[in-house]
Structure 1
């Protein structure tokens, strides 16, 4: 009966989950001196990182296969950064999935690591990172490299392509299958992805904590058609990752909201940007503010 219903609906269906994963422990994570002699994109995983990725694959398999027993016909589609450490992570993860479960893989350059420049000089990089802490992580641009704002721009472009793939049904072979998109990338890139998706502000981004090696975040589709971190993850986890009470409340709202609804209680959609807004046009408050401003201008002249 379920098969008949599925075949009668040829329209594209949203992925059940979008999962963001950071690569396993790399040689650069273990010893920053690796960046002085090896290009960032060629930094390999350590033995620990390979083991982490193998275990993460088993964990991902359990998450995808055990939560929803109503539809055992789930499938996965991978996006992966072109860096050595992310591709190696994917290779180990793939050991937990059969060929019939994997629809495809796409290498995506736009989800690569933030560019820190070319070969790095340790003492110079230490001073640069200290300056970044003073300047602000989002807007600080590494010499000969990128800022997090630059990463935001290319992640935004990737998201447009991702939605186009979904809308054009390029990722789904059978509408009866629950589709899970798994994006294997880097810590900052994953945080920027979440920032863009959930419309978080720069200030909110600055308080987010990085993902650990092979940690992942599950954006799961709610019944109303919105994605939320609060469906799979606990409130304690969201707090640990640096989400504020308001951000957590928004995630809980998204878990039950209808797609396209506006969260009127979300402060950074309106209230954060104004000191005070009149409740109505009839309050006379706008006229009072105009007169006060006009008087100040005249006095200054």
Structure 2
């Protein structure tokens, strides 16, 4: 099967929503105070520094190792990350709604405490169905997100075989790309999400091996942030799973 030569996904930089959500969780509040809709949450100053550090990493690569294609979530925090990160990078670039963050429906803007207090039946249903298949009313399950990512990967493989592709997206997208590309079983995916950490502006990548298949090269690395002086953060914020 034709394959991409290299695929990477960058989680967006720290957003104002990440900061507000971390503050709400730490103070025991039920609701996260974010005035914008999820799609319009911007980067924080730290997030802009992190995105610039990604740019320093990309521009430091040899010319033949830089991305040739960039696909971006339509959410503002991802688009701003890509704008900073891709400066001076000659790549064909577009926005694709299939990379948007998971939609939480009635659980949007609630902390874990808020879900348990305001929708205890949903907390129970999620515990019974599990992280992958639970769909909040008006929202998406991880399985739903996987379907749109499967479609996007199919298009990329068909239209950009041999290209070096970089994606700018969200925490859940990183985990579910691993699920699809590496054919991870559901229990192992859930354990990975529970034990792993996908920090803001971390980079996960795969390279095509001699067998013609993508294989994991790096998972959620942040060495570029340390090297360039941008503070690594892992706040979940509006990317978080509230229950």
Once residues 39 and 83 of structure 2 are traced to their aligned partners in structure 1, the CA distance between those partners, rounded to angstroms, is 16
- The CA deviation at 1:200 is 1.0
Q: Which residue of 1 aligns with 2:143?
A: 149
Residue deviations 1:133-185, cap 9 Å, x none? 73421111122211111111111111222222125xxxxxxxxxx73200111
Gaps of 5+ in 2: 22-31, 222-243
SS where residue 133 of structure 2 aligns? coil
Larger RCO (CA under 8 A, 6+ residues apart): 2
Q: Which residue of 2 aligns with 1:110?
A: 98
Once residues 33 and 170 of structure 2 are traced to their aligned partners in structure 1, the CA distance between those partners, rounded to angstroms, is 17
What is the CA RMSD across the aligned residues, in angstroms? 2.7
SS where residue 79 of structure 1 aligns? strand
- Identify the match of residue 202 of structure 1 among 170, 174, 186: 186
- The CA deviation at 1:16 is 2.6
Q: Which residue of 1 aligns with 2:12?
A: 23
SS where residue 19 of structure 1 aligns? strand
- Do 1:80 and 1:185's aligned partners in 2 also have CA atoms closer than 8 Å? yes
Gaps of 5+ in 1: 1-11, 66-70, 168-177, 238-301
Once residues 186 and 131 of structure 1 are traced to their aligned partners in structure 2, the CA distance between those partners, rounded to angstroms, is 26
Residues 124 and 75 of structure 1, relative CA distance in 2, 3 Å threshold: closer
Q: Map 1:64-103 to 2 at 5 A.
A: 64-65=61-62, 72=64, 75-95=67-87, 97-98=88-89, 101-102=90-91
Q: TM-score, normalised by structure 2?
A: 0.73
Residues 75 and 55 of structure 1, relative CA distance in 2, 3 Å threshold: closer
Once residues 109 and 41 of structure 1 are traced to their aligned partners in structure 2, the CA distance between those partners, rounded to angstroms, is 11
Q: TM-score, normalised by structure 1?
A: 0.60
